[in-house]
Amino acid sequence: MKLKIFFAASAVVLSGSMGLAADSSDPIVVPIHNWSSQIVMSNVVGKLFEEIGDNVEYVTTDSQAVYESIRSGDVTLEMEVWEGAFGASFRAALEKGGIVDAGDHNAVTREDWWYPMWTKEACPGLPDWKALNECAAVFATPETGDKGRFLGGPVDWLKHDQERVDALDLNFVVVNAGSAAALWAEVAAAEADKKPVVIFNWTPNFVEAVWPGEFVDFPKWVDGCDKNPSVGPNPNATYDCGNPANGYLKKAAWDGMKDKWPSAYELLQKISFTNAQIAEMAKFVDVDEMEPEDAAAAWLEANEAVWKPWIE
């Protein structure tokens, strides 16, 4: 207790000399979503905020609605703004105000239709999307008739697979998996007899170390493809393009964070994870079956050299 008071007092003196007020003792509200790297990373960052003396509360939220929650300050930040899945919600929130771009991670991301490499045996023209379309029948399941099945992620991730199917006239039916785990179970089940499957996947992820595979090459993403029909090969439709192949991964924050928790905000701006670090966070949970909190603790223990400089 005495120690705590001492540190609190010295923190005031220190921050006073830097012209910063001390962070509020109210909890920083950290959102938790439904894929493993985000859960582990959010726990890692929560523990770093605690390391600098702040309080933290975790809330499970929808990964699209979170941008509105950040604008209102109900949620303080977001650690994984993926360009493909959340770029549109993030841009819309930025335009309305109340949310700030807190910088990019080092990681480069891609989220799109993906297949394990054995799928090419049944559809040798891959990764071209036109070849995929000609092979649609080999992806058929009882629920899709003679059309192919695309197994998408949970509905809160990418919102526009059906629009893309319509815009590019794809012979596919979009079926949404209930969880990330259901996507991996599908690939694992297909592996034994090398059944062709096409699912939603992303990088960085643990998947690349377990099942070599490729993303489908759709018409290249161009800004405006989601808004302006004249952008992309179909002049009458939006979403006639793939997701960005070299997407960003950003951090976002409530615009009141820098005044209410100035030290935590400074820390948030410095935090940057690489593709390899993010893939490893996912692997701890999805391959090693660790609890996310344990995975976060293990990551912090093994990576002091990475995070110590951020809190100094």
Footprint on this chain of ligand TMO (rule: CB under 6 A): 35, 82, 85, 111, 153, 157, 202
Minimum CB distance to ligand TMO smaller for 23 or for 110: 110
Tell me how far, at minimum, the Cβ of 111 lies from ligand TMO, in Å: 4
Considering beta carbons, is residue 52 or 108 the nearer one to ligand TMO?
108
- Residue closer to ligand TMO by CB (options 262, 292) is 292
H-helix or E-strand spanning residue 38: helix 36-51
Backbone phi and psi for residue 275, each to the nearest 5 degrees, phi listed first:
-55, -45
* Those residues with Cβ within 8 angstroms of residue 151's Cβ, 6 or more apart along the chain or in another chain: 175, 176, 177, 183, 186, 197, 198, 199, 200
Contacts of residue 47, defined as CB under 8 A and 6 or more positions apart, other chains included, come to 296, 297, 300
Least distance between ligand TMO and beta carbon 148 (Å): 21
Tell me phi and psi for residue 215, to 5 degrees: -85, 145
**For 98, left (φ over 0), alpha (ψ -120 to 50), or beta?**
left
Closest separation between CB of residue 219 and ligand TMO, Å? Answer: 20
C-alpha span between 33 and 56 (Å, rounded): 16
How long is the chain?
A: 312
CA distance 309 to 312: 5
Closest distance to ligand TMO from the beta carbon of 33 (Å): 8
Closer CB to ligand TMO, residue 23 or residue 80?
A: 80
CB of residue 159 vs ligand TMO: minimum separation in angstroms?
Answer: 11
d(CA 312, CA 28): 20
Q: C-beta of 158: minimal distance to ligand TMO in Å?
A: 7
Give me the least distance between CB of 65 and ligand TMO, in Å please: 14
Closest CA to 8 of 26, 25, 29: 25
Distance CA 292, CA 79 (A): 15
Q: At its nearest, how many Å lie between ligand TMO and the CB of residue 82?
A: 4
Closest to ligand TMO by CB, 33 or 149: 33
Beta-sheet strands, E only, within 198-289: 198-203, 213-215, 249-254
Question: In which residue are the tokens 């770093």 written?
Answer: 48
Q: In angstroms, what is the minimal distance from the CB of 205 to ligand TMO? A: 7
Residue 289, SS3? coil
Residue closer to ligand TMO (CB basis): 86 or 299: 86
Q: Closer CB to ligand TMO, residue 79 or residue 271?
A: 79
Q: Between residues 82 and 206, which has the closer beta carbon with respect to ligand TMO?
A: 82
Question: CB-wise, 135 or 174, nearer to ligand TMO?
Answer: 174
C-alpha torsion 141→147→152→156, nearest 10? -120
